[in-house]
Amino acid sequence: MIGTIGNKYFVTEKNVNFAIKNMALLKTSKSMYIMYFLWLYLSSWDYKHYEFNAISGSIQKFLSLDAMRNIPVPFNYDIAVAFNKQVSNICRCITNLKEENIQLIKQRNELLPLLMNGQAVLNSDLAVSYIIYKDVNIRIMKENIIQAIVAKMQRDLDCRQMAQLKAVLTSELHNVEIIEKEECVYQQTQENEQFLNSFISAKKIEGCSDKTLAYYRNTIERLLVTLSMAICHITTSDIRTYLSDYQEEHQSSKVTIDNMRRIFSSFFAWLEDEDYIAKSPVRRIHKVKTDSLVKEVLSDEQLEQLRDSCTNKRDLAIIDFLSSTGIRVGELVKLNREDIDFHERQCVVFGKGNKERVVYFNARTKLHLQQYLNGRTDDNPALFVSLHSPHTRLTISGVEVRIRKLGHTLSMPKVHPHKFRRTLATMAIDKGMPIEQVQRLLGHVRIDTTLHYAIVNQNNVKLAHKKYLG
């Protein structure tokens, strides 16, 4: 068996053709008669209890060689052999199913590009995932034809005439069954891809980042592959069903589903604007109402605990800088040494929306930052770099992981860079700083964004109630 902690795989091949790295767990047996016994034991709660206590590594968990050598196996050879015999059929089934799953995933990965290129199509009955490849395929599509005709006539008819046309078509085709040939499906799939590419190009011209474009493409592609029909035939019901199924399958939150709805809305609204479709099917799908939760901030004691737990000058300087300036982590990692004005205790940050602003830091931050910079031996212009060579610029995830780790050592859950920003804003408002100045400090264009922070601290309400009404 091999795998990182928590993931155990049963390997039956005699010749294992992969590397055993230092972050893997290996347990073997020369006897085939007890292999299932060992496999199931390593999945048992008894073993997991041992694993939990013997685990090493703060970032990536693993077991040392000594810990593996000392795994306590309640072993009696005869009982193990008898057990193995009893469960061998079940274990073989499990192994076969896992192998079948791997094959299906492989098949899916091969077919996805073919589906997108129109070289393969899905039939309309996705419930059984039946795939027809280079073979005859038919699809009943009366409603889709009616919609396509109405869409093409929209320029020549007014609303009343359009409604009448749709009613006549529906009535006349009541007892008619329309069958679509496979070649049309090929064409439609290719058209879908062209529409998607055009949409992505349009968004790129509008200035969307590559990451946003990739997210858009991925989300829309999944919808088109799953529905496997021409874009002009997709109905509100299709999208509703897709969103509902996706939420159930992935156990996604309302926010995720609403994000997807927004992307579909943007895509179909663009198709509508470009006269590719008559009306966006997403128009009738309303915003998914999401829960509004109160965000936590760090207390003074927690901030001091975090400072005390720092084991190097860099981390201390980062925490002081974040808590003193309230800048975003994305802004922090972009800073260079030359951006800091120690005399005025200020610096210029390049913030969200490509806007520059000046932020200020306190005397303690100045001292800790100077101590950190004076101790640096590298010539990297970045303000914060990795501790070890080659001392590259710290990334967002690097700062996140570091701060989260400090929080874990103090049993302080959910400590992340943005919490310092929220804490600073809340403290400033608590201490009576004018909201307009907090707005400037945080770099908000609109003051209602700053007001989100003003309602965070329930103590404000309590104190105000005591002052004015109590």
Residues in 417-456 that interact with DNA by CB under 7 A:
417-419, 422, 442-446, 448-449, 452
Does 26 engage in binding with DNA (CB under 7 A)?
Answer: no
Sorted by sequence, the CB contacts under 8 Å of residue 83 that are 6+ apart come out as: 36, 37
- Judged by CB under 7 A, the residue of 293, 301, 411, 470 near DNA is 293
For position 7 contacting DNA by CB under 7 A, the verdict is yes
Report if residue 203 touches DNA, rule: CB under 7 A: yes
Q: How far is CA 271 from CA 83, 151, 195, 217, in A?
A: 63, 12, 8, 15
Q: Under rule CB under 7 A, which residues in 147-176 are in contact with DNA?
A: none
Q: With respect to DNA, which residue has the nearer C-beta, 181 or 408?
A: 408
Which of positions 309-338 make contact with DNA (CB under 7 A)?
A: 311, 328-331
Least separation in angstroms between residue 443's CB and DNA is: 6
Q: Kindly state the smallest distance separating residue 38's Cβ from DNA, in Å.
A: 20
Size of the residue set binding DNA (CB under 7 A) = 79
Q: Which is closer to DNA, CB of 71 or CB of 173?
A: 71
CB neighbours (10 Å) of residue 363? 9
Q: Does 244 bind DNA (CB under 7 A)?
A: no
Interaction between residue 299 and DNA (CB under 7 A): no
Q: Is 4 in the site for DNA (CB under 7 A)?
A: yes
Of 174, 388, 431, 466, the one binding DNA (CB under 7 A) is 388
The residues in 96-115 that bind DNA, with binding defined as CB under 7 A, are none
Q: Does 266 bind DNA (CB under 7 A)?
A: yes
Write the CA distances from 318 to 321, 396, 409, integer angstroms: 5, 12, 17
Q: Which is nearer to DNA, 345 or 405 (CB)?
A: 405
Tell me whether residue 165 or residue 257 sits nearer to DNA (CB atom): 257
Region from 18-26, 36-44, 78-86, 171-179 binding DNA, contact rule CB under 7 A: 18-26
Is 23 one of the binding residues for DNA (CB under 7 A)?
A: yes
* 186/360 with CB nearer DNA: 360
For the record, the structure tokens of 262 come out as: 């927004």
The region of 45-53, 130-138, 181-189, 289-297 touching DNA under the rule CB under 7 A is: 289-297
Shortest CB 316 distance to DNA, Å = 13
* Only segment of 32-40, 173-181, 209-217, 335-343 that touches DNA (CB under 7 A): 209-217
- For residues 394 to 413, the per-residue mask of contacts with DNA, x marking binding by CB under 7 A and - elsewhere, is xxxxx-xxx-xx--------
Q: Which of residues 53-72 bind DNA (CB under 7 A)?
A: 56-60, 62, 64-66
Comparing CB distances to DNA, the nearer of 14 and 21 is 21
Nearest approach, Cβ of residue 405 and DNA (Å): 6
Chosen residue from 198, 259, 309, 370 binding DNA by CB under 7 A? 259
Instruction: Assess 393 for contact with DNA (CB under 7 A).
Output: yes
Q: Does 15 sit near DNA (CB under 7 A)?
A: no
* Stretch binding DNA (CB under 7 A), from 83-91, 163-171, 206-214, 365-373: 206-214
Question: What sign does the dihedral 322-325-331-336 (CA atoms) show?
Answer: negative
